[in-house]
Amino acid sequence: MTQTTLSTPKKIAPVALDWKKWLGVIPFFLFAVLFLILPSLRLFIGSFTDNAGRFTVGNILELFEQKSILDAYWLSIRISAVTAIGGGIFGFLLAYAVTIGGLPSPLRSMLITFSGVASNFAGVPLAFAFVATLGRTGIITAILKNVFHINIYQAGFSLYSFVGLSLTYMYFQFPLMVLIMAPALDGLKREWREAAENLGATTFQYWSQVAMPILLPSILGAMILLFGNAFGAYATAYALTGGSLPIVTIQIGAQIRGDVLHNPGLGYAMAMGMVFIMAISLAGYSWLQRISERWLR
């Protein structure tokens, strides 16, 4: 952001030289156009095109009419929201425990490293790890059955369901929260707490009236980020459920493999709906991030 002040002298420089400076970034922009902008644009245009190649808004309208599509979005949104809120709260408590919670500091670097690993440990290996843990013959399943005489699969639990997928997603969700919240909690100045205590505030008052209002934008922002993280996930869900749990990404995957919706335009519209939701959540994240930077930097 300090760079913006540097851009002022450019007006003094001769105009003829100005455009040559842009030659240096052409490879990068060409790359972005070819492999990011153009593919996205293709889907965007496709979502407004009917089978005969004419302009239509019918595909977008149909998104809201087909029950299977609405269900897919709703399922994805629910899983993303549950893991974002659950992972967000758990991750926050963990980050609190190692920053200002009074745990010995070696535990902090342990947790941060582990979080870095876990938030990257996703896809097929993660799915397999959870099958070995909570699958029908998984270790926790076996321990619960043999030691505690609780058969979770008879009780209605399944790893290949909403709850199972959410538990699996949590494995990369709450570490991400830890990674975002630890620096934010560090940003709480000790002077604020001392000032509050000098004015006679209780711990509860300090948290509810000083710390929380400062932290809330970054907590919410991080949760939105977690939401997007789960919403765009494909590989973990596919490896775990083999496509039997129809979340949006799985449905889009099926549409790419073979036109299961029997309408290519509708497939593009479905993809664009995802991009739309991702864009909204990321815009919300960066807005909240800017608010939280007022106090925490």
Q: What residues between 150 and 209 interact with another protein by CB under 8 A?
A: 169-172, 174-176, 178-180, 182-183, 186, 190
**C-beta of residue 231 within 8 angstroms of C-beta of residue 281:** yes
Among 124, 150, 195, 216, the residue binding another protein under the rule CB under 8 A is: 124
- Using CB under 8 A as the binding rule, the residues of this chain from 259 to 278 that contact another protein are 267, 271, 274-275, 278
Cβ distance to another protein smaller for residue 22 or 204:
22
Residue 233 contacts by C-beta under 8 Å, 6 or more apart in sequence? 122, 169, 249
Residue 87 CA to residue 161 CA, distance in Å, equals 18
The residues near 50 (Cβ < 8 Å, ≥ 6 apart) are: 56, 58, 59, 265
CB 213 to another protein: min, Å: 20
- DSSP letter for each residue of 207-255: IIIIIHHHHHHHHHHHHHHHHHHHHT--HHHHHHHTT-S--HHHHHHHH
Determine the Cα–Cα distance for residues 280 and 126; give it in Å rounded to an integer.
Answer: 28
Total of residues contacting another protein (CB under 8 A)? 107
Contacts of 181 (CB under 8 A, 6+ apart): 91, 92, 95, 96, 218, 219, 222
Q: Which stretch binds another protein (CB under 8 A): 47-55, 63-71, 73-81, 116-124?
A: 116-124
Which of 58, 232, 243, 246 is in the footprint of another protein by CB under 8 A? 232
CB of 239 to another protein, least distance (A): 6
Site for another protein in 56-115 (CB under 8 A): 90, 93-94, 96-105, 107-109, 111-115
Selected from 58, 62, 85, 133, the binder of another protein by CB under 8 A is 133
Q: Minimum CB separation from another protein for residue 73, in Å?
A: 14
Q: Does 258 bind another protein (CB under 8 A)?
A: no
